[in-house]
Homo-oligomer: A and B are copies of this chain.
Amino acid sequence: MKRIRVCVVGYGNVGQEAVECIKHAPDMDLAGVVEIVDVDDPKVPVVKHVDCLEDVDVAILAIPSRAVPKVAPEYLAKGINTVDGFDIHGDSMVSLRKQLDECAKQSGRTAVIGAGWDPGTDSVIRMLFMAIAPQGITYTNFGPGMSMGHSVAARAIPGMKDAISLTLPVGYGQHKRDVYVEVEDPAQFDEIAQKIKEDPYFVNDSTRVTLVDDVGKLKVMGHGVLIERMGASGSAHNQRLELKMILSNPSATAQVMVSAARASTRLEPGCYALAEIPPIDLLPGDRENLIHDLV
């Protein structure tokens, strides 16, 4: 069995964990890390451009979602499969899939989009729950955990030194925001707190803002999710299905991307959401053995 050569694009929280996950994978080798920012890490070969790496089968794009529609086609055009963690649900996901499907088919390669835990494995769970109990209601509850998007939005407010925003589950798919801020001038706290609450990221949620001396001390990468479905199958109207995960966020995201990188080498050319991939293809090893042990 040919080993899979994987490169990691971006060396932030997720990129660093992706390197760890690849090192643990029995069927993969790290081709290298592609990072434009200067990185000094003796443990991994960091290059400025993918062309400096040889024989790359798959690129894990550990980059911001908004950069994916520009970067992924460049890799696909070079004959490299891509895996991204694109996390903008709805129309954006559908149009990314359409765009990359065309690129991937042109170069005879594959792209896996939205490969994280949500979207990603959570999306698969939501579909499985509907396959077991087609009528009913599903609630997805996130947290407690840091939201990168909300933290960045809070940090962008003038007079802010640093900020993090936690997502707190209230129950049944509803959430509160818990924002910790370090400001230039404590006298301006009330005004800054008001601006956060009026920001489009926060305006629809109940938001608490707390002034602290050192936001750095509060940063933690733990996260979680609870997916609940109350459903019906056939004549039974009390089917209760529940998925609960307590996760180190960047590690889980990186690992799902690495598992998707493996699957990308087993698919026909095209672009796939995680739910379009046979789950068995995410795992290393022989199919019959997996069926023997896990089915």
Contacts and interface: CB of A to CB of B under 8 A. Distances in A.
A295 B273 contact: yes
A59 interface: no
Specify which of A89, A234, A238, A247 lies most central, judged by the most chain B CB atoms within 10 Å of its CB. A234
A255 B295 contact: no
| Number of copies of this chain that the complex holds | 2
Contact of A236 (B125, B235, B248): B248
Secondary structure dominating the interface of A: helix
A256 interface: yes
A167 B110 CA distance: 45
A12 B131 CA distance: 21
A288 interface: yes
A252 B273 contact: no
Given A132-B252, A235-B20, A252-B133, A127 B282 contact: yes
Contacts of A128: 121, 124-125, 279, 282
A132 B24 CA distance: 13
Interface string A37-55: 0000000000000000000
Interface string A114-146: 100101010111111011111100000000000
B24 A134 contact: yes
A187 interface: no
A292 interface: yes
Nearest to A256: B132
A235 B250 CA distance: 10
A247 B255 contact: no
A94 interface: yes
A81 B117 CA distance: 34
Contacts of A248: 233, 236, 238-239
A87 to B, nearest CB: 10
A149 interface: no
A283 interface: yes
Given A127-B280, A294-B127, A254 B275 contact: no
A245 interface: yes
A1 interface: no
Interface of A: 17-18, 20-21, 24-25, 89-91, 93-94, 97, 114, 117, 119, 121, 123-128, 130-135, 233-236, 238-248, 250-252, 254-256, 259, 273-280, 282-283, 287-288, 290-292, 294-295
29 contacts: A17-B236, A20-B235, A24-B134, A25-B134, A91-B292, A94-B292, A97-B291, A114-B295, A121-B131, A123-B295, A124-B124, A125-B125, A127-B280, A128-B282, A130-B282, A130-B294, A131-B256, A132-B252, A132-B259, A134-B255, A233-B255, A234-B255, A238-B246, A239-B251, A239-B252, A273-B291, A274-B295, A275-B278, A275-B279
